[in-house]
Structure 1
Amino acid sequence: MDRAAQGTSLAFLGVLAFSGSLPATVFAMEGFHPWLVAIGRAAIAGFIALTCLKAAKIAIIPERRDWPAYGLISLGVVFGFPVFSGLALALGASTSHAAVVVALLPAATAACAVLRAGERPRLLFWVACAAGALAITAFTLTQNQGTPTWPDLLMVGALLSAAIGYTEGGRLSRRTPGWQVISHTLVLSLPLTVPVTVALALLTPITPTPHALAGFAYVSLISMFLGFIPWYAGLARGGIARAGQTQLTQPLLTLLWAWFLLGERFGPATVAAALAVLVCVAVTQRART
């Protein structure tokens, strides 16, 4: 298996981990305030990351030259995506609808890879990427009588935040192991995530049902930490733009989780949009960077 194929395989493992994030967030919000879920997951993951760095005897603070990149990663994946996506779900967006909107994320990540990581994909890549984006845009507009809703706009904010965080993380992972990149990001965010989490825990109602605890555990351990280890490694090996297109498979996976865990029902338009982006990802994987 060549380096590009290894990158795609690793990236898909990350996507598989991330695909359960939205249903798990819905579970978590059954017993915890959306803001507490969004920030608390990073605080819990931060302590896990701190433990891992100490156990591996690696410096807690990364090199100063990388601080701006870590700041962007933190804004993107520690705060931006969890807050925006959590609020979208809290305002009534279904998991299946939000999952299909998130399929625009690979296009945004590819654009960031061109701007920040110096990657130059072929024309066929961009054609397939644009086709996937158009399929998702058309789906969103048809579901809302041609007008974007607040949950849709919040999900756009979530995917733009993630695209920035993914690009910067993939760029740093070219010379720093992916698990260290996400660990440093989470640890550097602790001075903000811990006091906010404590305040929210004291000021908001908490009902720790089994579903809520399981969902909170998933987004804290898997979505916020373990999933990033193969994800960043895959972006570094396979190319941020190319390997990042594996995330076009995430809507189908999340739809399956939403059906299995939440009992959500979705129509032919949702399935058609998800299948359209699945075809697009197949094309992008043939378009070498």
Structure 2
Amino acid sequence: MRAQNSATGSSTIAVTASGPAASGTATRPAASGTGAAAGPDSRTGTLLAALGVLAFSLTFPSTVWGLESFGPWSLVTVRSVLAALIAGAFLLAGRVPLPDRRHWAGLAVVAGGVVVGFPLLTTLALRTSTTSHAAVVVGLLPLTTATFAAIRTGRRPSRTFWIAAVAGAVVVLAFTVQQSGGALSAGDLYLFGALLVCAAGYTEGGRLAGLMPGWQVVGWALVLCLPLMTAGAAVALAYEPVRLTAHGVAGLVWVAAGSTFFGLYVWYRGMARIGIPRASQLQLAQPLLTLFWSVTVLGEDLAPAAPIAAVGVLVCIAVTQRAKS
């Protein structure tokens, strides 16, 4: 699930494609510059951010494994409950005070887009779409979030930025139409819906992350959803059959603890040390890593167009990151 990393100021937004777990919020203002100076602290930050990218890249394969044991509604609600319990434990251990009342509306947007919307829609999509296909489509998330952020903040990115953003959208649309035999499938519609709701959540999370640490934004969003997700899990588990397997349990544990919490925690810690621009460069490897896992872990047959489209999207994202706002 990731509220993960939208940049503030003059930086361009870059977002992970985590399932979920993925979160695209900004770091605190001190970390939104060009990055820390080289040294031990910088190396540690790079390692932490790289661990975050690695965790996020495993979200889709883990979701596919989780679907071996759980229905889509059960998987989404149970993973959210487990992630909320972990986040709540860390918030309590750190004696983190409750956010101001004025922040709860924004946290609700983050929760709706990142905690509920993105995991649910991508899980529904992965019942019929391959992880490699989903990785390419959701690779467009940084550009989608950048567009939402431009609208939300009133900033006007450069013409180069918009040309690259439109080019990335065209690449993904052409790929999905080609892979679906000339028309968008139901899985594609779920994935495009996931892009929209997650981008909205990431954008609002980016605003809140200027007021509190990013991991606390995600933590409070998870806790906010806990009552709803607990009730939803009870209903879903009663109606959807559960067939526990080693893959299914491992997939559930990873999307809850690995992607949704651990990934976000190390990502934000790393980004705070090295800055958003350097961390975002590491994130460009995430779609290609997911393609690698789809072949080596799931044994999927990789369509020749998938890596080509993924590289095309990454080039467009790299251009938007370097374009002046």
**TM-score, normalised to structure 1's length?**
0.89
Change over 3 Å in CA distance of 1:2–1:164 after alignment to 2: closer
After alignment, is 66-75 or 242-251 more displaced?
242-251
Residue among 204, 211, 220 paired with 2:256: 220
Give the aligned partner of residue 19 of structure 2.
none
SS in 2 for 1:71: helix
1:16 to partner: Cα distance: 3.1
Over residues 116-175 of structure 1, what are the superposed CA-to-partner deviations in whole Å (9 max), with x where a residue is unaligned?
A: 234443222222222222111111111122210110001111111111111111211112
Give the aligned partner of residue 266 of structure 1.
302
1:25 to partner: Cα distance: 0.3
* Aligned amino acid, residue 158 of structure 1: A
Matches within 5 A, 1:18-33: 18-33=56-71
Number of positions where the alignment pairs a residue of Structure 1 with one of Structure 2: 285
Q: Does 1:71 align with 2:71?
A: no
* Aligned amino acid, residue 157 of structure 1: G
Name stretches of at least 5 consecutive residues in structure 2 with no aligned partner. Answer: 1-30, 37-44
Matches within 5 A, 1:162-201: 162-201=198-237
Residue among 245, 253, 257 paired with 2:293: 257
- Maintained 8 Å contact 1:96/1:254: yes
Give the aligned partner of residue 34 of structure 2.
4
* Aligned amino acid, residue 245 of structure 2: T
Matches within 5 A, 1:78-93: 78-90=115-127, 92-93=128-129
Residue among 38, 50, 53 paired with 2:88: 50
1:283 to partner: Cα distance: 2.0
Give the aligned partner of residue 102 of structure 1.
138
Name stretches of at least 5 consecutive residues in structure 1 with no aligned partner. Answer: none
- Separation in 1, partners of 2:110, 2:259: 15
* Aligned amino acid, residue 121 of structure 1: P
Over residues 87-133 of structure 1, what are the superposed CA-to-partner deviations in whole Å (9 max), with x where a residue is unaligned?
A: 1112x111111111112211210011112234443222222222222
- Separation in 2, partners of 1:11, 1:111: 24
* Aligned amino acid, residue 34 of structure 2: A
SS in 1 for 2:129: coil
- Separation in 2, partners of 1:218, 1:175: 29
SS in 1 for 2:237: helix
* Aligned amino acid, residue 116 of structure 2: F
Q: Does 1:238 align with 2:285?
A: no
* Aligned amino acid, residue 113 of structure 2: G
**TM-score, normalised to structure 2's length?**
0.80
- Maintained 8 Å contact 2:62/2:251: yes
Residue among 183, 190, 198 paired with 1:154: 190
- Separation in 2, partners of 1:5, 1:217: 33
After alignment, is 272-281 or 9-18 more displaced?
9-18
Change over 3 Å in CA distance of 1:180–1:244 after alignment to 2: same
- Separation in 1, partners of 2:49, 2:209: 13
1:288 to partner: Cα distance: 3.7
Residue among 8, 14, 17 paired with 2:55: 17
Change over 3 Å in CA distance of 1:207–1:224 after alignment to 2: same
1:12 to partner: Cα distance: 6.1
- Separation in 2, partners of 1:34, 1:285: 35
SS in 2 for 1:262: coil
Give the structure with the larger helix fraction: 1
Give the aligned partner of residue 111 of structure 1.
147
- Separation in 2, partners of 1:262, 1:216: 16
- Separation in 2, partners of 1:250, 1:219: 16
- Maintained 8 Å contact 1:139/1:269: yes
- Separation in 2, partners of 1:243, 1:112: 21
